[in-house]
């Protein structure tokens, strides 16, 4: 990012939901999922550079509001995101989000963006990037347990990044499965609606669990999971919210993003504090093994980490140039003399 002059810095580009959707369609969703998976992987590769902290959460009876900051030393980013499972009953979304990038050297923001749509895309791109490293070679079938707002993005990412071409869908609410089937029709994926989770598992090399209830749930029990699969468990993502029976964790090699956060929020919150996990960035740099044999169950205990949002915002910032798909937001005061904020205010009265 070259340094713009101060008057340009008085405005920052804002990507609205409408413009984000136009940007997605301009690039093409599958292309974007592939490119974003590469951006996320690139930032995992330089993991040690990042200023990392567990997200800053404000919990209430109804849900959680979180701030997720990080920095690579040159660029700072953060996301605001909520998680309110009961929102859907009021016609609202479980998760909404927006995010920001700023220059570390001046602290001035350079991008504000909606991230409800973008988070759905980055979450799917992260899952697919991880599956590219851990799933059995030549995997073509995925079981998709939980067919809510994130499910279609997961499906397309696994297709675009990993070559999955058959998806078996299950949800406790069959209307959700029907919605996902409708949305995914015509995308070159063989779709099968399943009446039970066991049915969905049939022949699946990747199992994705993505359900939303804020409770200790057991979406998968031990006898449902055969050897050699990759489990992409992304619905257990806050304290008190899990999806897998702990026996599955005992049988699996567990991969995580950032252990201090995953131990609080992920499936491994059920396990002792020293339960062994592998950090995904080390698999990517080659410092730790990924899948080592065909019988192994690999399990990605994904909770979503700040660097993934950083990667997504960085991608949007890079792709925004010349598209015109943003508004300039007058969010930074820009007095002619930086010490004369009061003078600027006073002159505005005239």
**Least spacing, CB of residue 213 vs a second copy, in Å:** 13
Query: For residues 211 and 143, what is the distance between their CA atoms, to the nearest angstrom?
Result: 13
**Least spacing, CB of residue 148 vs a second copy, in Å:** 5
Query: For residues 265 and 181, what is the distance between their CA atoms, to the nearest angstrom?
Result: 30
**Least spacing, CB of residue 10 vs a second copy, in Å:** 8
**Least spacing, CB of residue 232 vs a second copy, in Å:** 18
Taking Cα atoms as reference points, which of 196, 198, 149, 199 lies closest to residue 176? 149
- Site membership for a second copy, residue 218 (CB under 8 A): no
Burial of 227 (C-beta count, 10 Å sphere; 0-12/13-18/19+): exposed
Stretch that binds a second copy, among 37-45, 69-77, 190-198, 250-258 (CB under 8 A): 69-77
Stretch that binds a second copy, among 8-16, 32-40, 242-250, 318-326 (CB under 8 A): 8-16
**Least spacing, CB of residue 162 vs a second copy, in Å:** 19
What is the number of other CB atoms lying within 10 angstroms of the CB of residue 34? 17
- Site membership for a second copy, residue 174 (CB under 8 A): no
Which H, E and C letters describe 191-233, residue by residue? EEECCCHHHHHCCCCEEEECCCCCCEEEEECHHHCCCCCEEEE
- Using CB under 8 A, which residues numbered 125 to 164 contact a second copy? 148-153
- Site membership for a second copy, residue 340 (CB under 8 A): yes
Q: Are residues 54 and 80 in contact, defined by beta-carbon separation less than 8 angstroms?
A: no
- Site membership for a second copy, residue 45 (CB under 8 A): no
- Site membership for a second copy, residue 1 (CB under 8 A): no
Cβ proximity to a second copy: between 26 and 289 the closer is 26
- Among 51, 105, 199, 237, which one carries the catalytic annotation? 237
Q: 31 in helix, strand or coil?
A: helix
Taking Cα atoms as reference points, which of 104, 14, 12, 50 lies closest to residue 310? 50
**Least spacing, CB of residue 49 vs a second copy, in Å:** 13
- Site membership for a second copy, residue 301 (CB under 8 A): no
Taking Cα atoms as reference points, which of 295, 283, 176 lies closest to residue 229? 295
Cβ proximity to a second copy: between 68 and 249 the closer is 68
- Using CB under 8 A, which residues numbered 93 to 122 contact a second copy? 93-94, 96, 98, 100, 102, 104-109, 114, 116-117, 120
Q: Which of 1, 172, 195, 332 binds a second copy (CB under 8 A)?
A: 332
Stretch that binds a second copy, among 40-48, 80-88, 233-241, 310-318 (CB under 8 A): 80-88
Phi/psi of residue 317, each to 5°? Answer: -60, -45
Beta-bridge partners for 188:
none
- Site membership for a second copy, residue 342 (CB under 8 A): yes
DSSP 8-state assignment for residue 301: E
**Least spacing, CB of residue 35 vs a second copy, in Å:** 17
Residues contacting residue 249 through CB under 8 Å, at least 6 positions apart: 267, 268, 270, 271, 275, 299
Stretch that binds a second copy, among 34-42, 51-59, 234-242, 318-326 (CB under 8 A): 51-59
Q: Which of 24, 27, 264, 271 binds a second copy (CB under 8 A)?
A: 24
Which stretch of DSSP H or E encloses residue 120?
helix 116-134
Query: For residues 140 and 189, what is the distance between their CA atoms, to the nearest angstrom?
Result: 10
Question: Catalytic: 237?
Answer: yes
- Using CB under 8 A, which residues numbered 179 to 208 contact a second copy? 179-180, 182-183
Q: Catalytic positions, please? A: 237
């Amino acid at each position: 990012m070259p340094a713009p002059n101060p008057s340009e810095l008085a405005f920052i580009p804002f990507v609205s939901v409408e413009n984000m959707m136009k940007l997605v369609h301009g690039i093409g969703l599958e292309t974007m999922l592939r490119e974003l998976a590469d951006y996320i992987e690139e930032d995992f590769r330089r993991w040690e550079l990042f200023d990392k902290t567990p997200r800053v959460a404000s919990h209430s009876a109804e849900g959680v509001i979180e701030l997720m900051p990080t920095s690579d030393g040159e660029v700072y980013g953060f996301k605001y995101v909520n998680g309110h499972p009961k929102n859907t009953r009021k016609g609202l979304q479980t998760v909404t989000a927006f995010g920001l990038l700023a220059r570390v050297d001046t602290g001035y923001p350079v991008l504000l963006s909606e991230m409800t749509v973008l988070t759905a895309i980055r979450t799917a791109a992260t899952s697919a990037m991880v599956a590219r490293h851990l799933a059995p070679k030549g995997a073509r079938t995925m079981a998709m347990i939980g067919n809510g707002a994130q499910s279609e993005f997961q499906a397309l990412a696994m297709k675009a990044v990993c070559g999955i071409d058959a998806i078996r869908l299950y949800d406790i609410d069959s209307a959700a499965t029907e919605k996902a089937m409708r949305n995914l029709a015509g995308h070159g994926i063989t779709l099968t609606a399943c009446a039970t989770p066991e049915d969905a598992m049939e022949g699946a090399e990747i199992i994705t669990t993505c359900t939303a209830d804020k409770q200790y749930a057991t979406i998968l029990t031990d006898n449902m999971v055969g050897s050699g699969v990759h489990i992409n468990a992304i619905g257990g993502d806050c304290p008190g919210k899990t999806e897998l029976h702990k026996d599955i964790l005992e049988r699996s090699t567990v991969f995580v993003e950032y252990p201090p956060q995953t131990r609080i929020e992920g499936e491994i919150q059920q396990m002792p504090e020293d339960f062994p996990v592998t950090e995904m960035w080390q698999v990517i740099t080659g410092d730790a093994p990924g899948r080592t044999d065909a019988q192994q169950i690999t399990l990605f205990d994904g909770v979503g980490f700040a660097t993934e949002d950083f990667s997504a915002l960085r991608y949007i910032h890079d792709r925004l140039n010349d598209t015109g798909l943003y508004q300039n937001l007058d969010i930074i005061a820009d007095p002619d003399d930086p010490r004369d904020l009061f003078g600027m205010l006073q002159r505005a009265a005239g």
